Amino acid sequence: MKLGMIGLGKMGGNMVLRLTQGGIEVTGYDRSEESVAQIERQGARGARSMDDLIAALGEPGSRAVWVMVPAGKITQSVIDDLAQRLAPGDIVIDGGNSNYKDSIRRAEDLAKAGIHFVDVGTSGGVWGLKEGYAMMIGGAEEAVERLRPAFEALAPAADRGWGRMGPAGSGHYVKMVHNGIEYGMMQAYAEGFELMKAHQDFNLDMAQIAELWRHGSVVRSWLLDLTAEALQNKAEFEKLSDYVADSGEGRWTIIDSIELGVPTPVITLATQMRFRSQQEVSYAGQMLSAMRRAFGGHAVKTIETPRQEGLVPEVAPGDHPKVAAPENIGHTASAGEGSAAEQLGETGQQRVKGDA
């Protein structure tokens, strides 16, 4: 089958390469000439314009375009553009981290022109090229079945790691909850290791504990595997800021839990901890400090040097996943594409309403 891919960052670029390796005739397009040249150097086909991309996809009514750009207004603008170029029977796939309510609306809007919309919650990160991607898919059965060869090529195996969740919006909904669970798991690991590191009487070896837990323990997981490897390689976390980005799914999971009356305290607190990490200084903390001094005359600390942070660019398509390992931070050759918010995955935190 033929497939177009718009957005050739660390996810889209690697997906093009895996699709090509799987025998799919895929053409990639990106606003960055270097990103297009990168996939061409690795054997994939590139397009220099949207017109070139659409022309490479075959007859109207049989075409499929996968959108893999930052969520939010950028995704909306690309889909609006495609709506003017495609014909009844064509398929638009959104594989980014869009809000599921936006996906429902986009499906309804495209359906008026006879264009199918398929939302694909995609997980796998920089390891997806090597290990395959997990894909949670929403959309009409007919459209999903037409895309089966692409899903089978991208997944860890043809019969594993992908499936249709339900109608349009359901793929992104399941991925939203998936990421909320991810937030909770990551927070629990981080808190546990920080607690053990603070208990200095035992002089605990974090690398030894992480490696031990990988075998037979009920808390073993892929996240723990990556953490253990980083600790074994003596990753220097002190070089990292404690700023932790959030792409929006944790927020939306909490909102959905409130609307449905389903308690999600772990996911909620894990997301709130990310918010706290994103503050240079907490206004609430400053107020607490002021109140404590006002009623008790206690000593307080003042800010003498504002926090300064840098940005290590995202991993480039085709790079080995180990480039992303903590011990290699600061040694990346990539300059990164797009703004800091795009590279941190923060562009989709708010829903896109209408065509704005």
| Other Cβ atoms within 10 Å of 269 Cβ, number | 13
d(CA 69, CA 32): 12
Q: Alpha helices of the chain — where are they, by DSSP H?
A: 12-21, 33-41, 50-55, 73-85, 100-111, 128-131, 141-146, 148-154, 170-198, 206-213, 222-232, 249-260, 265-277, 283-296, 340-344
Residue with tokens 């997301």: 271
pLDDT digits (tens, 9 = 90+) for 187-208: 999 999 999 999 999 999 999 9
Nearest to 93 by CA among 112, 69, 113, 60: 69
For 177-278, the fitting CATH number among 2.30.110.10, 1.10.3720.10, 1.10.1040.10, 3.30.70.1560 is 1.10.1040.10
For 2-167, the fitting CATH number among 3.30.43.10, 1.10.510.10, 3.40.50.720, 3.65.10.10 is 3.40.50.720
* Structure confidence at residue 356 as a pLDDT band (50, 70, 90): very low
d(CA 208, CA 120): 38
pLDDT digits (tens, 9 = 90+) for 28-37: 999 999 999 9
Give the pLDDT score at 355. Answer: 41
d(CA 213, CA 91): 45
Residue 231 β-bridge partners: none
Indicate which residue of 25, 131, 182, 327 is catalytic. 182
* Structure confidence at residue 354 as a pLDDT band (50, 70, 90): very low
* Lowest-pLDDT choice from 17-26, 52-61, 75-84, 321-330: 321-330
Contact (CB, 8 A) for 37 and 313? no
On average, the pLDDT of the chain sits at 91
Decide if pLDDT at 322 tops 80: no
d(CA 27, CA 2): 8
- Asked if 59 is an active-site residue, the reply is no
Amino acid at the residue 152: E
Indicate which residue of 175, 229, 249, 337 is catalytic. 175
pLDDT digits (tens, 9 = 90+) for 178-187: 999 999 999 9
CATH 1.10.1040.10 domain extents, the chain: 177-278
Alpha-carbon separation of residue 189 from 23, 62, 107, 185 (angstroms): 39, 46, 38, 6
- Asked if 353 is an active-site residue, the reply is no
| Other Cβ atoms within 10 Å of 241 Cβ, number | 12
pLDDT digits (tens, 9 = 90+) for 219-253: 999 999 999 998 988 777 777 889 999 989 999 99
